[in-house]
């Protein structure tokens, strides 16, 4: 309540990742998740949140990122409990300064949950794929052909091969693209401009369709 759009979106993405993690475990028949098929959110338990935090640790997230995700999940579980949307009974403790309630303490800190967290004093790194190799263009083509609709294939190509952001791609118009040679065989020039007022006047929030650096 009272948080900026960006702050709300950041928290919503964490909750979305958590729910996707739960769905994935249901599909993989992981013990303790199958009953969620029929119970939905009401069947969520703190141990599911603990499993998610442990999974983040194994995936190499930083200590600060793990702390943020744990706090966001704690807020989510506290909300579910306050609104009688979850069956599990658990106590939510709050950190206070004077008479002011600041925020709920983690509900995933019970010793029997065996939650793994990143080391505060150690960078939790993992190997990253820097390049798709010599067949990268073919891989991009196959991805677009398999996963994307024909109408947006060109925009996906611009993201893959030109490094454009989503906001830059969706702001392109026909007169933003200049072909070099016959049908662009010699490449293309792109005029990256902010066309929000033309293309997205119907949107209340244009956070995801911004052009940060016109060029």
Q: What is the pLDDT of residues 64-74, one digit of tens each?
A: 999 999 999 99
Length of the chain in terms of residues written: 215
Q: Are 21 and 55 in contact (CB under 8 A)?
A: yes
Question: Do 140 and 71 reside in the same domain of the chain?
Answer: no
Question: Do 161 and 197 reside in the same domain of the chain?
Answer: yes
Question: Do 142 and 84 reside in the same domain of the chain?
Answer: no
pTM, to two decimals: 0.57
Q: Is residue 214 part of a domain?
A: no
Rounded to an integer, what distance in angstroms lies between the CA atom of residue 207 and that of residue 215? 19
Regions of the chain with pLDDT less than 50: none
Question: Do 104 and 141 reside in the same domain of the chain?
Answer: no
Q: Is residue 118 part of a domain?
A: no
Question: Do 27 and 100 reside in the same domain of the chain?
Answer: yes
What per-residue confidence (pLDDT) applies to 1?
58
- Token pair for 158: 């611009």
What per-residue confidence (pLDDT) applies to 95?
80
Buried b (16+ CB within 10 A) or exposed e, 64-81: eebbebbbbbbbbbbebb
What per-residue confidence (pLDDT) applies to 72?
93
Look at the chain and report how many structural domains it folds into.
2
Q: 171 lies in which domain range?
A: 136-209
Residue 44, phi then psi, degrees to nearest 5: -60, 145
Residue 104, phi then psi, degrees to nearest 5: -70, 140
Rounded to an integer, what distance in angstroms lies between the CA atom of residue 103 and that of residue 68? 12
Q: Is residue 128 part of a domain?
A: no
Question: Which residues partner with 188 through β-bridges?
Answer: 179
Question: Which residues partner with 96 through β-bridges?
Answer: 101
Rounded to an integer, what distance in angstroms lies between the CA atom of residue 89 and that of residue 45? 9
Q: Is residue 157 part of a domain?
A: yes
* Residue at a domain's end among 80, 113, 146: 113
């Amino acid at each position: 309540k009272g948080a900026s759009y960006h702050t709300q979106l950041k928290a919503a993405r964490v909750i979305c990742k958590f729910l996707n993690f739960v769905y994935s475990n249901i599909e993989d028949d992981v013990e303790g998740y199958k009953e969620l098929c029929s119970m939905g959110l009401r069947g969520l338990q703190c141990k599911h949140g603990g499993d998610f935090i442990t999974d983040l640790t194994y995936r190499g997230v930083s200590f600060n990122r793990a702390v943020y995700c744990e706090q966001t999940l704690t807020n989510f579980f506290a909300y579910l409990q306050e609104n009688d949307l979850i069956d599990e009974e658990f106590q939510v403790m709050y950190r206070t300064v004077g008479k002011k309630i600041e925020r709920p303490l983690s509900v995933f800190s019970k010793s029997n949950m065996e939650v793994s967290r990143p080391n505060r004093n150690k960078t939790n790194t993992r190997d990253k794929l820097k390049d798709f190799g010599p067949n990268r263009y073919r891989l991009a083509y196959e991805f677009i052909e398999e996963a994307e609709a024909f109408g947006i294939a060109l925009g996906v190509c611009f993201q893959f091969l030109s490094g454009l952001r989503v906001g830059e791609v969706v702001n392109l118009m026909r007169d933003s693209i200049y072909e070099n040679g016959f049908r662009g065989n010699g490449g293309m020039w792109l005029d990256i401009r902010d066309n929000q007022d033309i293309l997205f006047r119907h949107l209340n929030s244009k956070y995801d369709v911004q052009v940060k650096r016109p060029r």
